[in-house]
Amino acid sequence: MDNGIRRARPDDAGGCARVHSQAWQETYTGLVAPEYLAGRTEEYSLRLFHNNGCRDMFVAVEDGEIVGFSGLAKTQGPDAGEIQAVYVLKKAQGRGLGRALLDKALEELKARGFTKAVLWVLSTNKKAIGFYEHVGLTFNGVEKEETLGTPVVERQYEKAL
């Protein structure tokens, strides 16, 4: 059986899209506007993953099924790389997959020469904040307002590499 964490491939787009869409529904219901959440369909996500070819991503696979992923984004200056996403389906949480996906992303950023990793998290997403703090990321005081149907505040967390 195909199990574990591995680098994503272009043919993982469908599995990543399914996880992305489902994880948004599981995670952000009650945290973002319902009409915005309704637009985060599997079809929407599939276009994203097809367009980028699942570059700069890692997937968590259990019994041949993608159940989570992490992805890197643009850099945040010469010293900091950004982790754009860490998503694990609710049914696969609590088994260390989120930590393993995050660790792979951190290792990749370090290998690219960054000395710091940053990521953004909704200020109201207490579960994610608890996870990130548990694994050693800290809120660096930077916040930004985004519109996800309605205004929301995102906080930036960071970790030295």
Of residues 77 and 31, more confidently modeled:
31
| Tokens encoding 8 | 């994503």
pLDDT in tens, 68-81: 999 998 777 789 99
Task: Give the angle 8-72-6 at the CA atoms, nearest 5°.
Answer: 25
- Number of structural domains (the chain) is 1
Domain CATH code at residue 31: 3.40.630.30
For the residues 87-114, what does the mean pLDDT come to? 96
Mean pLDDT, all residues of the chain: 94
Measure Cα distances from 96 to 10, 154, 157 in Å.
25, 25, 20
Residue range 41-62, pLDDT digits in tens: 999 999 989 888 899 999 999 9
- Model confidence band, residue 10 (pLDDT cutoffs 50, 70, 90): very high
pTM higher than 0.85, yes or no? Answer: yes
Domain that holds residue 145: 4-160
